[in-house]
Amino acid sequence: MARFLIDGELVESLSGESYEIRNPANTDEVVDVVPKGSREDVKLAIDSAEKGFEKWSSLSAHERASALLKIAEIIEKNRDELAVLLTREHGKTIRESRREIERAAYRMRYYAGLASQISGRFQCLEAKLNKYFITVKEPFGITAGILPWNVPVTKFTAYVAPALAAGNVAIVKPSSTAPLAVLKICELIQESKTLPEGVLNAVVGPGSSVGDELVKHKKIEKIVLTGSTDTGIGVLKAAANSLKHVTLELGGSDPMIVFEDADLNEAVKAAIYGRFRMTGQVCMAVKRLFIHEKIYEKFKNGLLEGVMKIRVGNGLKMETDMGPLHTFEQLLEVKSQVEETIKDGGRIIYGGKTPEGKEYEKGYFYLPTLIEDPPIDSKAMCEETFGPILPLVKFSSIEEAIDMANSSIYGLTGSVWTRDINKANRVASELEVGTVWINNHHESIPEVPFGGFKLSGIGKEFGIEGIEEFLKTKAIVFKAR
């Protein structure tokens, strides 16, 4: 049975309640049993974190960095075991899980390097140092990270690494449906005694109780949430009463715009990887594809050829390219978005159903799906599609492409494909998104700040900006007597 991490101990929930996690590729397979937490477990985690902060805040940046480097080693050393667990609880392929874990270790190292770079400003206000000010960067203290199910290990390290590097302590709440790999990492960290007790805590439970307690508790000053936009808005409102600092990494409906002068082979490959990786369950996936009318047919045929080769199956098999959807609810949602888009006039050119065969009977599988001519106000174009659905839209001018791309309520990322630097530059400057890729799409790079505009979020993670989110600025003004 998996366990929480509170006060340096691996524990069950206070209520003794637990539930099973089943493999989405084969729901007969119980992967593990997880304790079901409540508000009372969160209160214990907060008491633990309070004690942890006393110890952690007395360490130097060098000591904090050393601990993060050791955690990176632990993650890397256990890559294979963690990857299998992640695939079994989530459904993503083993290659995707390994990559997620490798990147997580790198993220730990990256923020270990930034721990000693935290610094403030100095400015002289009068001659001869008679009056000056400095700014000091201070950690918040107790912080909480509420994670989604789609990239649990990525989001665990995207939260924990900068939070700890900046001198905060952490309480992590993994999603209820994919908590196992994260709890296993916490267990490995605990067993290695890398962190003082209470510096890292983990509790799993419903968002409405465990998540809500974290968001409302007065001793927590900083919340990081990755999740859907609806959850983000609710969390922002709930956090307002105690004026918490909040970072929100939310949904997206990211456009990819391909011009007639693009490298079509590269663009086709990127569209397939960018949409169907992790069965389309990625915030920054290519969710709307805009193709210039002059190359539309050629591009569509290239896509079709590539998509037909995607092997759907159990993620544990090395030959699988695309696993199942993560939950039954997710499968129903994707089916309904496709059906509604077709009703509104879109045409399926590939997929649009669950695959047939014995190996698919016990899992939440769905074929990679291409939809042509979806109306601009159809579900596949307006909602976030968190599954393997790719709508294809023709455009004839740069203005039309930019207008359609910006018509979304979301503004997470977007990409432009062209060999013309002026065209690329114009699209990059006019897209209303937090990240623009030129001739690439869909990369999570620890050095590059990431975070959406519009209803895709508030604040940034990754990069130097990612550590700034965990620091508050104090100004100290000196005046000579």
Question: Site residues (CB under 6 A) for ligand NAD?
Answer: 146-151, 173, 175-176, 207-208, 211-212, 215, 225-228, 231, 234-235, 249-252, 283, 384, 386, 412, 452, 457
Whose structure tokens read 């509790």? 203
370: region left, alpha or beta (phi > 0 left; psi from -120 to 50 alpha)? beta
Whose structure tokens read 């990559």? 99
CB of 144 to ligand NAD, least distance (A): 9
CB of 196 to ligand NAD, least distance (A): 26
Give yes or no: 186 in active site.
no
Nearer to ligand NAD, 363 or 387 (CB): 387
Q: Which of 249, 333, 461, 469 is catalytic?
A: 249
Residue 78 DSSP class: T
CB of 355 to ligand NAD, least distance (A): 24
Please give the Cα distance from 177 to 20 (Å, whole number): 9
Q: Of 156, 170, 174, which Cα lies nearest the Cα of 221?
A: 170
Give yes or no: 283 in active site.
yes
Please give the Cα distance from 105 to 75 (Å, whole number): 6
Contact 78, 188 (CB under 8 A): yes
Nearer to ligand NAD, 12 or 249 (CB): 249
Tell me how crowded residue 181 is: count the other CB atoms within 10 A of its CB. 28
Please give the Cα distance from 278 to 178 (Å, whole number): 14
CB of 146 to ligand NAD, least distance (A): 5
Nearer to ligand NAD, 87 or 175 (CB): 175
CB of 187 to ligand NAD, least distance (A): 19
Contact 469, 460 (CB under 8 A): yes
Nearer to ligand NAD, 173 or 292 (CB): 173
**Taking the chain, what is the end-to-end CA distance rounded to the nearest angstrom?**
65
Nearer to ligand NAD, 174 or 374 (CB): 174
Contact 157, 467 (CB under 8 A): no
Active site residues: 249, 283
